[in-house]
Structure 1
Amino acid sequence: MGILGWIVLGLLAGLIAKAIMPGRDPGGIIITLVLGVIGAFVGGFIGRAIFNTDLGSFFEIRTWLLAILGSIILLAIYRLVTGRRAHA
């Protein structure tokens, strides 16, 4: 997956994670993108460690699920560290 694929995957995974865990988080599109890209790396690590799989191609469902899972984990950690609560 090229850099453009990582950017698109990261942006969409970050948006989906923020939609699943709504709340008042700082940052706009750039922070969401960074959340998603780092979340994809975290998801890939989780996939390798637990399921003995890796992020596949851009079009595989496990790639998307692992990236979204990693993004949700990062968002939850951020909220725990900063003490922010979700306000819908």
Structure 2
Amino acid sequence: MDQPDVPDEAVRDEEDHDLLTFLESGIRLREEIAQIEEALAQDSTQPPREVLLARLSALRAALARNSKHEESSPGEAGFLNYSPRRAADR
């Protein structure tokens, strides 16, 4: 997965508009993935390993979905120009 060339700190310093951008959510997902991987590396029993592995799998899937949306830039045309896909197009 290609990572954006924008440093995480620059994204965090932007004005907060209550909703996360794909870039911001990707940063948070990568941070949480790193925390789970660290907990697994420490061979901790709290929480149980199965719980950590399930969470890690869910986070990685979320990051993959987030990255697809980030690459397609769905908000690039502007929020007010958004029109949802029709049921027939799904």
Q: Using structure 1 for the length normalisation, give the TM-score.
A: 0.34
Higher relative contact order (CA 8 A, sep 6+): 1
Q: Using structure 2 for the length normalisation, give the TM-score.
A: 0.33
Larger Rg: 2
Higher helix share: 1
